[in-house]
A and B are shown apart, each in its own frame.
Chain A
Amino acid sequence: MGKLIGKEVSVAAADAVGLVNVDVIAAYPITPQTHIVEHLSELVAAGELDAEYIPVESEHSAMSVCCGSSARGARTFTCTSSQGLALMNEVVFIASSLRLPIVMVVCNRHLSAPIGIANDHSDIMPVRDSGWIQVFAENGQEVFDHVIHAFRVAESEKVSLPVIVNMDGFVLSHMIEPIEYWEEEMVKQYLPEFKPLYRLDPDDPITIGALTMSEYLTEAKMAQNEALKNALPEIVTAWDEMAEITGRQYRPVEKLHEDSSETLFLTMGSISGIVSDAVDQLREQGESVNLLKLRLFRPFPFKALKEAVGNARRVIVIDRAVSFGGPPGPVASEIRSAFYSDTNRPMISGFICGLGGRDLIPDDYINIYRESLLQTEGGATETEDILYGVKA
């Protein structure tokens, strides 16, 4: 392993974007993403990064610019958060439907109202179905690695889809921690030159975004869905090849301990470390419990998830957002759906945690474990997701 240096995760994310020698950055600053765009604009202004930094007037414009520049064949990056992601929503769907390999970092923050700036996943869940590849990072190193991985996957000619790298706002974006930077040579070895599937070119014109009605819309959406599903092996290959360069092996679903346990926690993002502390405390007390980290959210890794769950009796899914009037844990409902047709399916016990940055400690997750056990002992096979720690 190379030398670890102390960097703010936002600065490291921006430096990773610089390392891949991006051509166009279009972004609008919003808390807690601000440090990423600040550092990128510094790199461009100082002449250290030869890119076009386009300071747009809104996130809707940011994603629109990204679509234009990506369609022209430029390596394109943006990042946003919360309200900004909501404002750009319309164009987020267009980017993926046009198969434009844009890379976006989302510093996950709660969505208004009431207004707030702290971390949860309520901003990203509304774009769950947008057709972007989506990964969640647990720490600064993962953010750095995944920015580079995102460009590699997005621009792969077998994929050509945009990628969102989710990093929790503040908890990661404002954290200084040890990160190993890649050398330029490593990036050159890992990331080939961007060769777009198609490009806007006045000398060789094409039509992008033409009208499609019922005659071919079903076929268009079939093709889009297949493209996203078929990205999965490419995503895994890109992780495997990264492991050869960095020694860090990422997988769609990762297990904390290799053994099989009766109960599994399932988490996404930066809380995994805290939950792993709780899991280790419980294991010391003799409990049969393990942790699964869901790294890849789209395309959803059904096969890897089932392999990782194995014969576990219970999966405790930690959600960071509410699907109002719905299941209500968006991730728990996906996990339930993944197992519904299995005869020997585990009980899925959903807990919604840490809304608006509420800081849950390992003891909270130990409470959640005990509460989940009580649900099963009471004979429950189906449970309703619980907003953990609600003041009542």
Chain B
Amino acid sequence: MTTPSEFTWRDLEPGVIISDAGNSREYKTGDWRSARPVVDKANCIKCGVCYLFCPDIAITQAADGTFEADLYYCKGCGICEQECYTGCITMVDEEE
């Protein structure tokens, strides 16, 4: 018995490869987050250590040289808060 579906086994590429590489960008991991990093830009020394340590490459540099997390991807792990030299990153509960 088969299950009717718009996407069938015939639509898979040989070897189940994914030919449109880089489509993980579309994958929203931001909703895994229960707390988000908030940056006190006044104390940010623009060293980029948060950018280096972020396991999800979710932190990017803004035009003014400071860093901030892209909340579409940030899972809220808190590593940036732990690593920041000046303590300018604080994890804030999503509920607040």
- A positions within 8 Å CB-CB of B: 97-100, 160, 197-198, 205-208, 210, 212, 216, 218-220, 222-223, 226-227
Bound CA–CA A208/B17 (angstroms): 5
- B positions within 8 Å CB-CB of A: 8-10, 12-19, 21-22
Contact B12 A223 (CB under 8 A): yes
Contact A207 B15 (CB under 8 A): no
Contact B21 A197 (CB under 8 A): no
**B15 contact from A100, A205, A222, A226, Cβ within 8 A:** A100
What B residues does A160 contact at CB under 8 A? 14-15
- Among A206, A212, A226, A227, the one with the most B-chain Cβ atoms within 10 Å of its Cβ is A206
What B residues does A99 contact at CB under 8 A? 14-15
**B12 contact from A197, A207, A208, A220, Cβ within 8 A:** A220
Contact A207 B21 (CB under 8 A): yes
Contact B9 A223 (CB under 8 A): yes
* Other A-B pairs beyond A198-B13, A210-B18, A220-B9, 17, CB < 8 Å: A97-B15, A97-B16, A98-B16, A160-B14, A198-B14, A198-B19, A205-B21, A205-B22, A206-B17, A210-B17, A216-B12, A220-B16, A222-B9, A223-B14, A223-B16, A226-B9, A227-B14
**A207 contact from B9, B10, B18, Cβ within 8 A:** B18
The 10 closest A-B pairs by CB, nearest first: A219-B9, A205-B21, A207-B18, A99-B15, A98-B15, A222-B9, A99-B14, A223-B9, A220-B16, A197-B14
What B residues does A212 contact at CB under 8 A? 16
Nearest-CB residue, chain B, relative to A197: B14
Bound CA–CA A210/B16 (angstroms): 8
**B19 contact from A100, A206, A216, A227, Cβ within 8 A:** A206
Nearest-CB residue, chain A, relative to B24: A207
CB distance from A253 to the nearest CB of B (A): 28
CB distance from A159 to the nearest CB of B (A): 10
CB distance from B8 to the nearest CB of A (A): 7
What A residues does B16 contact at CB under 8 A? 97-98, 210, 212, 216, 220, 223
CB distance from A93 to the nearest CB of B (A): 12
Nearest-CB residue, chain B, relative to A215: B7
- Among B12, B15, B21, the one with the most A-chain Cβ atoms within 10 Å of its Cβ is B15
CB distance from B65 to the nearest CB of A (A): 31
CB distance from B58 to the nearest CB of A (A): 20
Nearest-CB residue, chain A, relative to B5: A219
CB distance from B32 to the nearest CB of A (A): 16
What A residues does B8 contact at CB under 8 A? 219
What B residues does A226 contact at CB under 8 A? 9
Contact A219 B12 (CB under 8 A): yes
Nearest-CB residue, chain A, relative to B23: A207
What B residues does A205 contact at CB under 8 A? 21-22
CB distance from A313 to the nearest CB of B (A): 37
- Among B10, B14, B21, the one with the most A-chain Cβ atoms within 10 Å of its Cβ is B14
What B residues does A223 contact at CB under 8 A? 9-10, 12, 14, 16
CB distance from A130 to the nearest CB of B (A): 15
Bound CA–CA A223/B9 (angstroms): 6
CB distance from B4 to the nearest CB of A (A): 13
Contacts A/B (CB < 8 Å), 8 sampled: A99-B14, A205-B22, A206-B17, A206-B21, A207-B18, A210-B16, A223-B9, A223-B14
Bound CA–CA A210/B18 (angstroms): 8
Nearest-CB residue, chain B, relative to A221: B9
Bound CA–CA A334/B13 (angstroms): 31
Bound CA–CA A89/B48 (angstroms): 45
What B residues does A98 contact at CB under 8 A? 15-17
What B residues does A208 contact at CB under 8 A? 15, 17-18
